[in-house]
Amino acid sequence: MTMEWLWAALALVCVIEGLGPLLFPDRWRLYLLKISQQPSNQLRQVGGVFVVIGVVTLYYLSSH
């Protein structure tokens, strides 16, 4: 059962990540250009926030 949820989550990530370049390729390219110019520490902080949000959400969903 756990592996099914993992594969479903990975599939959902692929769908969500693919929507930007599929629907708005020019805006997506500009967004990536802006992101690539950000300092590494700022990118780490944003990544850390997303990881914490994801872990907390998974914990919440698994306990209900």
Secondary structure percentages of the chain, helix, strand, coil, to 5: 90, 0, 10
Question: How many folded domains does the chain comprise?
Answer: 1
pLDDT digits (tens, 9 = 90+) for 21-52: 999 999 999 999 999 999 999 999 999 999 99
Q: How far apart, in whole angstroms, are the C-alpha atoms of residue 7 and residue 27?
A: 29
- Structural domain range at position 22: 2-62
pLDDT tens digits along 2-24: 788 888 889 999 999 999 999 99
CA distance 8 to 40: 30
Q: Rg for the chain (alpha carbons), in Å? A: 15
From CA 23, how far away is CA 21, in angstroms rounded?
Answer: 6
